[in-house]
């Protein structure tokens, strides 16, 4: 399986709600199966990998907005 980075690993602090935030690392990559947004904790433990719709290449700030919504969803579900 061949992986191509669309966006290299980046560190981000995501605001979940007033006074609460979470540090994450993320990257966007493409492989034979599709386009993915991979999120990890600062210690490199996995959080979630989200498959993105084909053709969805965004600016870095847009990926960070997407991170926030995915993390909010995961926190709510837990």
pTM of the complete model: 0.78
CB 52, CB 28: distance < 8 Å: yes
Residue 75: pLDDT band (50, 70, 90) is low
At residue 43, the pLDDT reads 96
Cα separation, 15 vs 70, in Å, equals: 12
Runs of H (alpha helix) within the chain = 60-77
pLDDT in tens, 14-65: 887 777 888 999 999 999 888 899 999 999 999 999 998 876 667 777 878 8
pLDDT at 78: 53
């Amino acid at each position: 399986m061949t992986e191509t980075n669309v966006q290299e690993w980046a560190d981000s602090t995501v605001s979940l709600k007033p006074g609460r935030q979470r540090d994450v690392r993320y990257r966007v990559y493409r492989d034979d199966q599709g386009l993915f947004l991979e999120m990890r904790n600062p210690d490199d433990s996995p959080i979630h990998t989200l498959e993105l719709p084909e053709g969805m290449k965004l600016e870095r700030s847009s990926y960070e907005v997407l991170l926030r919504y995915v993390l909010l969803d995961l926190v709510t579900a837990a």
